[in-house]
């Protein structure tokens, strides 16, 4: 499915490093925009009709993550998801 018009529908997690844990979120879907960065506060499931979104991790794996799995993702090196 298409996310609609716009140049980019992805953002990067700015504090992810090469030495970060393999399961650290690095890239994720957002609403359209350019040069976005941030965390779960700008993530969207709307690009896939609320069913999920694509998330890329520090180990180069990409997964389609469902909304109920969001709280299990590692957004910070300390392992705290920062998702309510």
| pLDDT tens digits for range 51-65 | 999 999 999 999 999
Instruction: Determine contact, residues 55/81, Cβ cutoff 8 Å.
Output: no
Per-residue pLDDT tens digits for 19-72: 899 999 999 999 878 888 999 999 999 999 999 999 999 999 999 999 999 999
The predicted structure's pLDDT at residue 3: 58
Average pLDDT rounded to a whole number, residues 63-84 = 84
pLDDT confidence bin for 16, thresholds 50/70/90: confident
Instruction: Determine contact, residues 52/62, Cβ cutoff 8 Å.
Output: no
Residue with the bigger pLDDT between 8 and 2: it is: 8
Find, among 50, 78, 51, 62, the residue nearest to 25 by Cα.
62
3-state secondary structure string across the chain:
CCCCCCCCCEEECCCCCCCCCCCEEEEEEECCCCCEECCHHHECCHHHCCCCEEEEECCCCEEEECHHHHHHCECCCCCCCCCC
């Amino acid at each position: 499915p298409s996310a609609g018009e716009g140049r980019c529908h992805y953002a990067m997690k700015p504090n992810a490093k090469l030495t970060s844990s393999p399961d650290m979120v690095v890239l994720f879907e957002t609403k359209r925009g350019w040069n976005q960065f941030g965390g779960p506060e700008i993530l969207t499931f709307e690009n896939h009709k609320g069913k999920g979104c694509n998330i890329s991790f520090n180990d180069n794996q990409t997964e389609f993550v469902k909304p109920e799995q969001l709280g299990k993702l590692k957004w910070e090196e300390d392992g705290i998801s920062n998702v309510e």
